Copies of this chain bind each other. A is one copy, B any other.
Amino acid sequence: MKKSFIETIDNDKVGDDMFQLMSELYPICRSITGNGVVESLNILNRHLPLTIHEIPSGTKVFDWTVPKEWNIRDAYIKNSKGEKIVDFKKFSLHVLNYSVPVKKKVSLDELKEHLFTLPEYPEWIPYRTSYFKENWGFCLSHNQLLEMNDKEYEVCIDSSLEDGNLTYGECFIEGEEPDEVLLSCHACHPSLCNDNLSGVSLVTFLGKYLSTLSLRYSYRIIFIPGTIGSITWLSRNETNISRIKHGLVVACVGDPGMSTYKRSRIGNAEIDKAVEHVLKNSGKPYEIVDFSPYGYDERQYCSPGFNLPVGCLFRTPHGQYPEYHTSADNFDFVRPEYLSDSFSKYISVLKILENNKRYSNTNPKCEPQLGKRGLYTAIGGKSDTNADQMALLWVLNLSDGQHSLLDISERSGIDFDRIKDVADILQQKVLLQELQK
């Protein structure tokens, strides 16, 4: 028999496990299509059974078209002595992602138009892409660029950009209800830890854990390329979208910054209330920001034609840490303890969603007599009332069909878990009846 959601997990172990999985995925050069994604999904599949979907290049998905498939085998710059001074095989960020094939000698001046560096962080290598405009290029440290004095260099990018597929992975965990919780992460970035091996890894272990539980909701977990992936997924699943009752985009969950929640476009959806409740009660600093139409795949889920209740729970927002989209987004920056802290917050949020039901008080006129049911202390007159009695009274008073258990927790200031426990007892005593949605 599966476990209930209330049971706890070993956070230290899960932090280490996530970190380990990230290490395995790190060297692979992923992109929005191609073998790197496929290889990564195969690794994830060992932890979580995935359905792999392949969508042919050229498929129309809303206003977009699935692009050609990009694969790369090798890429380097050789100096006049024939030495490889930039070598993709050593580090996947070195190539402009989606570079078309090239093999020729070029002058330094011409080459410079194809080189990307970060002058403000001269030791770091940037991550750059050119998905929708054909181009080629290399990314390297600015210090390295300053040392390049040869007149001519040999450049080689052994890539292909051809009709093929866009690949994504999907895991469906069936719960009691057909209503779904969507967990979405982009799995298209190459060797970048926080963005988004951290998200990929957290979602994998979240799915693994959910699979062991007896669940109310069904969970749909998707590993997709950013933007084109969520557009493709929404396009192919349009008829079932109304099943999604709550969702989170998972990214940037391993850095040392505080937890940040970006609200859904709806702004006060149940997922918004649940995450805010968890962060408010976490005892740690946090930040809540309103929806804006820039970021990750929430841009698509929250487009006006869908307007899904999907928020994003990350740590430092993308673009607000200097390591973002550079070689410094590595294993010095992302650490197991931050992964583990994020993981436990996701668990707390899902626990609320699973248990956040509405009840109707079966005895709404005056209080029921709690004493005869063993729910009230016998000696009266004291000035203190214990917390469980207050929880009982709050749940009874607000179970009028208008308030969920989370609403009651917020209104009373009493911990959600205690409110939930008390509701269970009252339901056993037939003083509450669960309401269908």
What is A's interface to B at a CB cutoff of 8 Å?
62-64, 97, 116, 126-133, 135, 227, 230-231, 234-235, 238, 265, 292-294, 299-300, 302-307, 318-319, 324-325, 361, 363-369, 371-372, 378-385, 389-390, 393-394, 396-400, 412
Contacts and interface: CB of A to CB of B under 8 A. Distances in A.
A367 B133 contact: no
A365 B62 contact: yes
A411 to B, nearest CB: 8
Contact of A412 (B265, B292, B398): B292
A412 B399 CA distance: 38
A63 B294 contact: no
A299 B126 contact: no
Contacts of A381: 97, 126-129, 325
A378 B325 contact: no
Interface residues of A: mostly helix, strand, loop or mixed?
Answer: loop
| Shortest 10 CB-CB contacts between residues of A and residues of B | A305-B364, A305-B365, A293-B397, A319-B383, A304-B400, A293-B393, A133-B378, A129-B380, A63-B368, A128-B381
Nearest to A373: B63
5 contacts: A129-B379, A299-B393, A300-B367, A305-B364, A318-B383
A94 to B, nearest CB: 13
A127 B128 CA distance: 73
A64 B370 CA distance: 10
Given A62-B366, A325-B381, 17 more contacts: A62-B365, A63-B363, A63-B367, A63-B368, A231-B366, A235-B366, A293-B396, A294-B390, A304-B361, A304-B397, A304-B398, A305-B361, A305-B365, A306-B365, A318-B383, A319-B383, A319-B384
Contact of A324 (B116, B325, B363, B383): B383
Contacts of A389: 294
A365 B234 contact: yes
A179 to B, nearest CB: 21
Contacts of A116: 379
Given A127-B381, A234-B366, A365-B234, A372 B132 contact: yes
A325 B397 contact: no
B380 A131 contact: yes
A128 B380 CA distance: 6
Contacts of A238: 365
A26 B416 CA distance: 44
A369 B304 contact: no
Contacts of A292: 390, 394, 412
A139 to B, nearest CB: 9
B303 A364 contact: yes
A120 B371 CA distance: 28
A366 B129 contact: no
B366 A64 contact: yes
B132 A378 contact: yes
A19 to B, nearest CB: 25
Contacts of A64: 366, 369
A183 B152 CA distance: 72
A365 to B, nearest CB: 4
Nearest to A390: B294
Contact of A62 (B325, B363, B379, B383): B363
Contacts of A385: 294
B130 A393 contact: no
A9 B379 CA distance: 43
A238 to B, nearest CB: 8
Contact of A325 (B303, B361, B365, B382): B382
A292 to B, nearest CB: 7
A131 B126 CA distance: 76
